[in-house]
C-alpha cells in the first residue's frame, strides 16, 4: 500500500492497476482483518472540520446572556451600597448561572452531535466476499464500494462496474446535469473533475443506476475534503418557534424589570437611599427568569435523546415542536405499515391458471400446488389442489421462473455456520427463514426466493450458462424494469421484463385484443383483492448476436427493447401488515390525526391492506370507497381547484408516483393541515423537504431521503411515527408546564412587590416585603421543581387531544387562565403571610431604614413578616409545581400524593428548603445581617394553613374548569366515528 491516496491520477490507470495499488480483490474486496491496519494508516473517513461542538462557542453564548450581566450589575450596585454580603452572593449567583448554563448547554451540544452522528450515512461495501453495510466513516482505501440510485458516495473511488450509472456532482463542479459514468481509461492527469467519467467523488449523489468502485481516497484526502466542505445540518436556523418566542419574552421581561425599578424609584420621587435601592433590586429580580433558556434547550435535546431510544432519530430539533401539531400522516405501505417480509404465495399463467406456493420466509423451500381457476384463502380449503412436479415444468412456467430470477438484482445466501450457531441459541429464531440472508429490494427478494424453490435461482441459472448483459432499472414513472440476458448454450439473447401488470400487458403482442387484456386484468384484480402485490412477467427473444456488448446494448432505445413481448403470467406477493400497525392507526385516529396510505401497489391491493389495518373501515359503502381511494394517475390529472373542492383528501392513493406525493403535500398545506410524510427513495426527497415533518426510513431509505428529512426511523415502523408524535406532544406539554410554573411564581412575586409599595416606614418610604438575599434563595429553591416539570411523563390524555394548532401561541387560553388564577392565589397567600405578622405584632413598619439598620423592637414585626412570606412562598411553590403537572386532573388525591412522594426532586427540594430555612431563620447573625429577617414561632401555623389553602384553592380551580369548560380531550374519536367523518 502506498501513502499516495490523493495525488495519484487514478482516472488514468486501468482497473487492474488500481486494484494492485491498493492490494484489493475485485470480487471479494478487502479482508476484515486488513481494515484496522488501514484505519491506522489512512485514518477514519471523516472531515476534521466536523469535529463536534466547540466549547468556546457555547461559552461565548453564555457570556452574551443578558441575565448574567444583570446579576453582575446588581452585585456591583450592592458593593456600591456597601452591602458586601448581598453583592458577593449576587456575583456568586452570576458565576454559578454561567457555569450551570455552560455545562448543561455544552452537554446538550454533545448529545445533539451524538444524535446527528446516528443519522450519518452508511455505505455498502464488499469485504470477505460478502456485501456489508457499514458507517461511512469506516470506509478505507481499497474497499469495494457499492452504490445505487439515491446513495451519497461515501468516498472518492475508481469505478469497476457500471449499470446506467449517473452521478450529480453539482456540489463539486456546479454542473446541474448528472454525469453519465463509463469504464474508460482517461489520458490527461489534469482532466477536470467533471470530465473524470470513470471516478466517483465523496458526497456526490447517485441519480441513476448502480455501480461498484475501488475506494481511492477518504476523509480530508477526498476532493470534497480538500475544500473542507461538507453538507452539515448544524446551523443556527434549527431554533424552534417556541425558542424564538421565548427570546422575545425574555426581552419583554427585562423591560418589565426596568419598569418595576422605575415604579419603585418613582415612589420615593427618585431620591433613593440604601433601602430604596434594595427594594428596586428586589423588584427587578422578581420578574427575571434566571436559567429559563438553558432549561428550554436542555429539555429539547433530552427529548431528542428520548426519541432516539424510541427508534426515531431527530435530525432537526425544531421538528419536536411541530410533531405536536401534526394533523395528517402520509405513509408508505411497504416496510412501514407492513413488515417488508414479502413472499410469493400465488402465481397465474394464461394456460394453466392459478398456483399456490407454500410460504417459508427467506428459506427457498416449499411445495407448489396447481389450483386451476380456484383462489381459496387457504390451500387446505381446496381439496382438488394438485402438487406440482418441479422437475417437469411447462415451457410457460419455466420462462416465468426464469424471468423472476434473471430480471432481478437481489440475492439470497445461507448464513455462515458461526452465525447459524448464534441464531440457534436465540429462542425467538424458530424458522428456517432465519438461516438465510437477503440483499436487495423486498419485492425482488421475494421473486428470487420463489425462483430458488424451483432450483432455478439466479446463481443456478448463471452456473448453467446464462449471463446478464445489461439492465434497464426500475423506473417509477413507467413502473417496470428489464434485463437483457444471454443463454450461452444456445447463443440466444433474451429480454425479461417485469412490473405493474397493467403496464406490462400494454407491451405484449400475445394479448392483441382488449378482451384478452381485460381477462388478465380481471385475474390481477382477483389476486389484488387478497391483499397481494401483483407483478406482470414477460419476455421475448432478441435478434442480436451472442457477442453483443453491454455498451452496444445501452446505446439503443429502451422502448425498442421493451416491445412485442410475450406475456408469461402474474405473481402474487404477500407482505403481511405489522402487528402493531392497526393499533397505531387507531391511536392516530383517537388523537385526531388522519392517516393516508400512498403506495405503488394496485388499487385493489392497497384497499385490502388499508381495510386490514383500519385506515379504511371495512363497512364503507361503494360510494365512500370511490371517494376515499384513488389512483395516482387520477389524482395527478386533477387541477388544484378540483382537489380543493374534494370533501376529503383520499385516504389511499394507489400506483403513487413521487410527483403524486408532492401534489398531495401541497393540497394538504392548502387546507392548513400539518403534514408528516414518509419516504425512502431519492425521488421522495422533494416531498420530504416540503412536508412539515419529513420522515425517512433508516433501514431501506436512500442517503438523499435521509438528508432531506427531519426524522429518521431506525426500524422503518409506522408505530414509531405515532410514538414520535406522542413524544413530541409530551415535550411541548412539559415546556408549557415549566413555563407556566415560572410565570405563576414570577407574576405572583411581581404582584406582591408592587402591592407592598403601599407599606411605608415612619419616614414615608416604601419598605420591601423581601430582601435581595431572600429573592436569591427563591431562585435557588424554584429551579429544581422547574427542571422536574420539564421531564414529566406524558399526561393520560396526550393522545386523546386534538392536534395543537401550529399558530397557537404558547399563551393559549388554558395557560393564561392558570397563570392568572394561580398567580392571584399565590399573591394572596404571600400578602396574608406578610401582613398578619406585620400588623398583629406591631402597627406596620416601626423603624426607619430597617434594611440597612435593624432596630430591636421597631423592625421586629417587619422582619418576621418577611420570614413568614418567605416560608409560605417557598412551600407554596412546591404546591404549585404539583398543580402544574396537569391542567384539569386532581393531583392532591391519594394517587397524586403517592406520585409526589415518589418524586425524588420534590422530596429533595422539600428537605433542602426545610434545612436551609431553619439555618437562615434561626441563626441570628445570618437571619438579621444577611436575609434581613427574624425567627418566627406561631407564624409557622399561619404559613402551613396558607399552604393548605393553596392546595384546596388549586383543586377548586381545576374542579371549576372540569365542570364548566369543554373537555381537553374532546378531539378524541373512536375508529367508527373517524370513518364517518374522515377528518382530512
- pLDDT of the residue at 768: 83
Confidence of residue 870 (pLDDT cuts 50, 70, 90): very high
Closest CA to 805 of 317, 321, 329: 321
> Taking all residues of the chain, what is their mean pLDDT, rounded to a whole number?
84
Q: What is the DSSP string of 318-336?
A: HHHHHHTT--EEEE-STTT
Placement of cell 452585585 in the chain: 75
Confidence of residue 404 (pLDDT cuts 50, 70, 90): very high
476 neighbors 657 (Cβ within 8 angstroms): yes
Confidence of residue 91 (pLDDT cuts 50, 70, 90): confident
Could you read off the pLDDT of 560-572 as tens digits, one per residue? Answer: 999 999 999 999 9
**Extended beta strands in 894-965, E state:** none
As a whole number of angstroms, the distance between CA 47 and CA 850 comes to 64
Task: Kindly list the structural domains of the chain, giving each domain's residue range(s) and its CATH number in brackets, ordered by start.
Answer: 1-230 (2.70.150.10), 251-307+727-793+812-964 (1.20.1110.10), 312-337+579-716 (3.40.50.1000), 343-574 (3.40.1110.10)
Region of poorest pLDDT, from 168-182, 213-227, 272-286, 475-489: 272-286
Question: For the packed helices 939-964 and 860-883, what is the interaxial angle rounded to 10 degrees?
Answer: 30
Residue 959: phi, psi to the nearest 5? -65, -40
Region of poorest pLDDT, from 174-183, 247-256, 878-887: 247-256
* Helix ranges, 514-657 (H): 514-528, 550-555, 558-561, 581-590, 603-612, 622-628, 632-637, 640-645
State the average pLDDT over residues 497-525: 92
Residue 25: phi, psi to the nearest 5? -105, 130
Asked if residue 261 has pLDDT above 60, the reply is yes
Give percent of the chain with pLDDT exceeding 70.
Answer: 86
As a whole number of angstroms, the distance between CA 318 and CA 282 comes to 36
Residue 685's DSSP bridge partners are none
As a whole number of angstroms, the distance between CA 254 and CA 257 comes to 5
More confident call, 265 vs 13 = 13
State the average pLDDT over residues 290-306: 70
Top-confidence range, 145-154, 312-321, 861-870: 861-870
- pLDDT of the residue at 984: 40
More confident call, 745 vs 423 = 745
- Cβ-based neighbour number of residue 413 at 10 Å: 13
- pLDDT of the residue at 837: 93
State the average pLDDT over residues 734-758: 88
SS3 content of the chain, % helix, strand, coil (to 5): 50, 15, 35
- pLDDT of the residue at 240: 59
Asked if residue 293 has pLDDT above 80, the reply is no
Asked if residue 242 has pLDDT above 80, the reply is no
As a whole number of angstroms, the distance between CA 146 and CA 122 comes to 11
Residue 332 designated active-site: yes
Asked if residue 980 has pLDDT above 80, the reply is no
Closest CA to 741 of 873, 907, 881, 890: 881
**In the sheet that 675-679 helps form, which strands lie side by side, from edge to edge?**
312-314, 711-713, 693-697, 675-679, 328-331, 594-598, 652-654, 629-631
* Active-site position among 332, 434, 692, 943: 332
Placement of cell 432499472 in the chain: 473
CA distances in angstroms from 967 to 797, 838, 844, 983, listed in the order given: 10, 44, 47, 20
Buried b (16+ CB within 10 A) or exposed e, 503-539: ebbbbbeebeeeeebeebbebbebbbebbbbbbbbbb
More confident call, 648 vs 280 = 648
As a whole number of angstroms, the distance between CA 245 and CA 237 comes to 14
More confident call, 304 vs 925 = 925
Could you read off the pLDDT of 646-664 as tens digits, one per residue? Answer: 999 999 999 888 888 999 9
Asked if residue 546 has pLDDT above 80, the reply is yes
What's the DSSP call for residue 887? S
Give percent of the chain with pLDDT exceeding 90.
Answer: 41
- pLDDT of the residue at 746: 85
Asked if residue 889 has pLDDT above 70, the reply is yes
Could you read off the pLDDT of 12-64 as tens digits, one per residue? Answer: 999 999 999 999 999 899 999 999 999 999 988 876 644 444 677 777 776 77
- pLDDT of the residue at 149: 81
Could you read off the pLDDT of 419-454 as tens digits, one per residue? Answer: 555 544 444 344 455 578 887 788 899 999 999 999
Could you read off the pLDDT of 629-642 as tens digits, one per residue? Answer: 999 989 999 999 99
- Cβ-based neighbour number of residue 559 at 10 Å: 9
Instruction: Give the contacts of 370 (CB within 8 A, at least 6 positions apart).
Output: 352, 353, 354, 355, 385, 386, 388
State the average pLDDT over residues 459-464: 94
Amino acid at each position: 500500500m502506498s501513502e499516495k491516496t490523493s495525488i495519484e491520477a487514478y482516472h488514468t490507470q486501468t482497473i487492474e492497476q488500481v486494484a494492485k495499488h491498493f492490494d484489493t480483490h475485485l470480487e471479494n474486496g478487502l479482508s476484515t482483518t486488513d481494515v484496522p491496519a488501514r484505519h491506522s494508516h489512512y485514518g477514519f473517513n471523516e472531515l476534521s472540520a466536523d469535529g463536534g461542538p466547540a466549547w468556546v462557542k457555547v461559552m461565548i453564548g453564555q457570556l452574551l446572556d443578558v441575565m448574567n450581566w444583570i446579576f453582575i450589575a446588581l452585585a456591583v450596585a450592592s458593593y456600591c451600597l456597601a452591602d458586601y454580603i448581598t453583592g458577593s452572593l449576587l456575583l456568586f449567583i452570576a458565576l454559578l448561572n454561567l457555569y450551570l448554563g455552560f455545562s448543561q448547554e455544552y452537554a446538550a451540544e454533545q448529545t445533539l452531535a451524538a444524535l446527528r452522528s446516528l443519522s450519518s450515512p452508511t455505505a455498502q461495501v464488499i469485504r470477505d466476499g460478502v456485501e456489508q453495510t457499514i458507517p461511512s466513516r469506516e470506509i478505507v482505501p481499497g474497499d469495494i464500494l457499492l452504490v445505487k440510485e439515491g446513495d451519497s458516495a461515501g468516498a472518492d473511488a475508481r469505478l469497476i462496474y457500471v449499470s446506467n450509472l449517473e452521478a450529480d456532482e453539482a456540489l463539486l463542479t456546479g454542473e446541474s446535469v448528472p454525469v453519465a459514468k463509463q469504464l474508460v481509461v482517461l489520458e490527461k492527469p489534469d482532466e477536470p473533475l467533471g470530465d473524470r467519467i470513470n471516478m466517483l467523488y465523496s458526497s456526490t449523489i447517485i441519480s441513476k443506476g448502480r455501480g461498484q468502485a475501488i475506494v481511492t481516497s477518504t476523509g480530508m484526502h477526498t476532493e470534497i475534503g480538500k475544500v473542507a466542505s461538507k453538507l452539515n445540518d448544524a446551523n443556527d436556523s434549527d431554533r424552534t418557534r417556541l425558542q424564538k418566542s421565548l427570546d422575545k419574552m425574555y426581552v419583554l421581561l427585562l423591560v418589565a424589570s426596568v419598569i418595576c425599578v422605575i415604579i419603585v424609584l418613582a415612589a420615593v420621587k427618585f431620591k433613593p437611599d440604601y433601602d430604596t435601592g434594595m427594594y428596586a433590586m428586589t423588584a427587578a429580580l422578581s420578574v427575571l427568569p434566571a436559567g429559563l433558556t438553558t432549561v428550554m434547550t436542555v429539555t429539547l435535546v433530552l427529548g431528542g435523546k428520548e426519541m432516539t431510544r424510541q427508534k426515531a432519530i431527530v435530525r432537526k430539533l425544531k421538528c419536536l415542536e411541530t410533531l405536536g401539531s401534526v394533523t395528517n400522516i402520509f405513509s408508505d405501505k411497504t416496510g412501514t405499515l407492513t413488515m417488508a417480509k414479502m413472499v410469493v404465495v400465488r402465481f397465474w399463467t394464461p394456460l394453466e391458471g392459478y398456483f399456490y406456493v407454500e410460504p417459508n420466509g427467506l428459506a427457498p423451500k416449499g411445495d407448489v400446488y396447481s389450483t386451476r381457476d380456484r383462489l381459496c384463502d387457504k390451500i387446505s380449503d381446496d381439496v382438488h389442489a394438485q402438487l406440482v412436479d418441479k422437475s417437469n415444468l411447462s415451457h410457460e412456467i419455466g420462462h416465468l421462473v426464469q424471468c423472476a430470477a434473471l430480471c432481478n438484482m437481489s440475492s439470497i445466501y445461507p448464513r455462515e455456520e458461526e452465525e447459524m450457531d448464534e441464531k440457534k441459541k436465540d429462542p425467538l429464531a424458530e424458522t428456517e427463514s432465519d438461516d438465510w440472508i437477503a440483499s436487495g429490494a423486498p419485492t425482488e427478494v421475494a421473486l428470487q426466493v420463489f425462483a430458488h424453490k424451483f432450483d432455478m435461482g439466479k446463481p443456478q441459472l448463471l452456473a448453467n450458462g446464462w449471463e446478464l448483459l445489461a439492465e434497464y432499472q426500475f423506473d417509477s414513472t413507467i413502473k417496470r424494469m428489464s434485463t437483457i440476458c444471454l443463454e450461452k448454450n444456445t447463443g440466444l439473447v433474451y429480454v425479461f421484463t417485469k412490473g405493474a401488470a397493467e403496464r406490462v400487458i400494454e407491451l405484449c403482442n400475445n394479448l392483441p385484443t382488449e378482451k384478452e387484456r381485460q381477462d388478465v386484468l380481471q385475474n390481477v384484480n382477483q389476486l389484488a383483492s387478497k391483499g397481494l402485490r401483483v407483478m406482470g412477467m414477460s419476455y421475448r427473444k432478441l435478434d442480436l448476436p451472442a457477442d453483443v456488448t453491454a455498451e452496444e446494448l445501452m446505446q439503443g432505445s429502451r422502448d425498442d427493447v421493451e416491445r412485442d413481448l410475450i406475456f408469461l403470467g402474474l405473481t402474487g406477493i404477500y407482505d403481511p401488515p405489522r402487528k402493531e400497525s392497526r393499533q397505531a392507526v387507531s391511536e392516530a385516529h383517537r388523537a385526531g390525526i388522519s392517516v393516508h396510505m400512498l403506495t405503488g401497489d394496485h388499487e385493489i391491493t392497497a384497499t385490502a391492506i388499508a381495510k386490514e389495518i383500519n385506515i379504511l373501515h371495512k363497512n364503507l359503502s361503494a360510494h365512500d370507497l370511490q371517494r376515499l381511494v384513488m389512483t395516482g394517475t387520477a389524482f395527478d390529472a386533477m387541477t388544484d381547484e378540483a382537489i380543493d373542492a374534494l370533501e376529503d383528501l383520499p385516504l389511499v392513493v394507489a400506483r403513487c408516483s413521487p410527483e403524486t406525493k408532492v401534489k398531495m403535500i401541497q393540497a394538504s398545506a392548502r387546507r392548513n393541515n400539518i403534514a408528516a410524510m414518509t419516504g425512502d427513495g431519492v425521488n421522495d426527497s422533494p416531498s420530504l423537504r416540503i412536508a412539515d415533518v419529513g420522515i425517512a426510513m433508516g433501514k431501506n431509505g436512500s442517503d438523499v431521503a435521509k438528508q432531506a428529512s427531519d426524522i429518521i426511523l431506525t426500524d422503518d415502523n409506522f408505530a414509531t411515527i405515532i410514538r414520535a408524535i406522542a413524544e413530541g406532544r409530551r415535550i411541548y406539554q412539559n415546556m408549557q408546564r415549566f413555563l407556566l410554573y415560572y410565570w405563576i411564581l414570577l407574576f405572583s412575586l411581581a404582584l406582591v412587590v408592587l402591592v407592598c409599595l403601599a407599606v411605608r416606614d415612619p419616614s414615608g418610604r416604601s419598605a420591601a416585603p423581601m430582601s435581595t438575599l431572600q429573592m436569591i434563595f427563591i431562585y435557588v429553591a424554584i429551579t429544581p421543581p422547574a427542571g422536574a416539570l420539564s421531564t414529566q411523563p406524558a399526561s393520560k390524555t396526550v393522545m386523546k387531544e386534538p392536534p395543537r394548532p401550529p399558530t397557537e401561541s404558547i399563551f393559549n387560553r388554558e395557560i393564561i387562565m392558570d397563570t392568572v388564577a394561580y398567580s392571584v392565589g399565590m399573591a394572596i397567600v404571600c400578602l396574608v403571610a406578610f401582613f398578619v405578622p406585620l400588623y398583629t405584632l406591631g402597627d406596620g413598619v416601626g423603624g426607619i431604614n430597617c434594611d440597612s439598620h435593624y432596630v430591636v423592637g421597631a423592625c421586629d414585626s417587619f422582619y418576621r413578616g418577611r420570614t413568614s412570606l418567605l416560608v409560605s412562598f417557598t412551600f407554596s411553590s412546591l404546591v404549585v409545581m404539583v398543580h402544574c403537572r396537569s391542567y384539569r386532573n386532581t393531583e392532591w388525591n391519594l394517587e397524586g400524593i403517592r406520585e409526589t412522594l415518589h418524586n425524588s426532586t420534590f422530596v429533595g427540594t422539600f428537605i433542602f428548603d426545610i434545612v436551609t430555612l431553619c439555618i437562615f431563620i434561626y441563626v441570628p447573625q445570618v437571619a438579621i445581617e444577611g436575609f434581613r429577617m427574624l425567627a418566627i414561632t406561631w407564624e409557622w401555623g399561619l404559613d402551613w394553613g396558607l399552604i393548605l389553602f393553596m392546595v384546596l384553592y388549586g383543586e377548586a380551580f381545576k374542579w371549576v374548569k372540569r365542570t364548566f369548560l369543554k373537555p381537553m380531550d374532546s378531539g378524541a374519536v373512536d375508529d367508527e366515528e373517524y370513518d364517518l367523518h374522515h377528518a382530512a
